[in-house]
Amino acid sequence: MRYFIQLSYNGTSYHGWQRQPNAVTVQQTIEEALSTILRTPTTIMGAGRTDTGVHAYMMYAHVDIVHTDENGNENATSTSSTYHFAKAELTKLTYKLNNLLPSDIAILKIIPAIPEAHARFDATYRSYIYKINTVKNPFTQERAFYYKIPLDLQRMQEAAAILLTYSDFECFSKSKTDVNTYLCDIKEAKWSLIDNEYHFTITANRFLRNMVRAIVGTLIEIGQGKKPVSWMHEVIKGKNRSLAGASAPAHGLYLTDIGYPKHIFID
């Protein structure tokens, strides 16, 4: 039966989310823990992929689990799409996973879902936060981008608002990426100052590879005074990655939320 796993992780020690042949990733680490507990090779499908060093306050993945009896035989009822683990069993599985996983990955909960539910394709929106530290802080050096040069928050705010007036963001896509479309529906893009950190919050139905970090790098150039606010129009209309700013470092980026239609979950 299909389940959604809600989790969070500190991406510092991982080469991103997606399993790779010669690197430790978040997906691989969770799959190995699940396979150990369930005593069968188990794979999961994430809602997307984050790059090396990127963090997630909230991430989802789906997994198919075959229900077995105490002897390890598949239950006859497991062929029914309505059969799922009881809440207590899911709580126990969550507990076991967290005990087995390293401290930088946390399983928040496991949710029963309809058989056709898909963690990636059923997502209706995704939200990210990028953190820029304005003062040197040894406790956040791997969790926020320390930027020494003063930034004009108002200019960056005005430039961020321009993003909402466009839908084609080829200019912020990683080069040589195999995608069918560069269209994204950005619902929110704004800056805020929290303590000594600038936080850039962005929400869209989908994101291109490296898109958020490329946007932040472009906004930094505007906030630094190197480029005018109107430059954002030129970059987007140019549809060329080389016209935009350099990508901001990965360690300041966090996936914060993913939305799904309620009907795919089973109460």
Model confidence pLDDT, tens digit, residues 126-168: 999 999 999 999 999 999 999 999 999 999 999 999 999 999 9
Class of domain 125-257: alpha beta
Q: How confident is the model at residue 122 (pLDDT cuts 50, 70, 90)?
A: very high
**What fold does the segment set 2-122 form as a domain?**
Alpha-Beta Plaits (3.30.70)
Tell me the C-alpha distance between 131 and 128, whole Å.
10
Beta strands at 55-64 and 253-259: parallel, antiparallel or unpaired: parallel
- 3-state SS of 32-78 is HHHHHHHCCCCCEEECCCCCCCCEEEEEEEEEECCCECCCCCECHHH
Catalytic sites, residue numbers: 51
Q: What is the DSSP letter of 15?
A: S
Contact (Cβ atoms closer than 8 angstroms) between residue 233 and residue 165: no
The tally of CA atoms less than 13 A away on the side-chain side of residue 230 is: 0
Beta strands at 125-133 and 55-64: parallel, antiparallel or unpaired: unpaired
Helix (H) or strand (E) holding 219: helix 211-223
Tell me the C-alpha distance between 64 and 43, whole Å.
8
Contact (Cβ atoms closer than 8 angstroms) between residue 256 and residue 204: no
Residue with tokens 């390890």: 72
According to CATH, where is 3.30.70.660 located in the chain? 125-257
pTM of the model: 0.91
| Average pLDDT over every residue of 195-215 | 96
Among candidates 1, 113, 100, which has minimal Cα distance to 47? Answer: 113
Contact (Cβ atoms closer than 8 angstroms) between residue 113 and residue 3: yes
Give the DSSP letter string of 90-136: HHHHHHHHHHHS-TTEEEEEEEEB-TT--TTTT--EEEEEEEEESS-
Q: Which sign does the torsion angle of CA 35, 39, 41, 46 carry?
A: negative
**Predicted pLDDT at 177:** 75
According to CATH, where is 3.30.70.580 located in the chain? 2-122
Contacts of 22 (CB under 8 A, 6+ apart): none
Model confidence pLDDT, tens digit, residues 40-75: 999 999 999 999 999 999 999 999 998 655 555 555
Model confidence pLDDT, tens digit, residues 4-23: 999 999 999 999 999 999 99
Mean pLDDT of the chain: 92
- Residue 2 CB neighbours (<10 A): 21
Tell the burial category of 262 from Cβ atoms under 10 Å away from its Cβ (0-12, 13-18, 19+).
Answer: exposed
Percent of the chain with pLDDT over 70: 93
Would you mind telling me the total number of residues written for the chain in this entry? 267
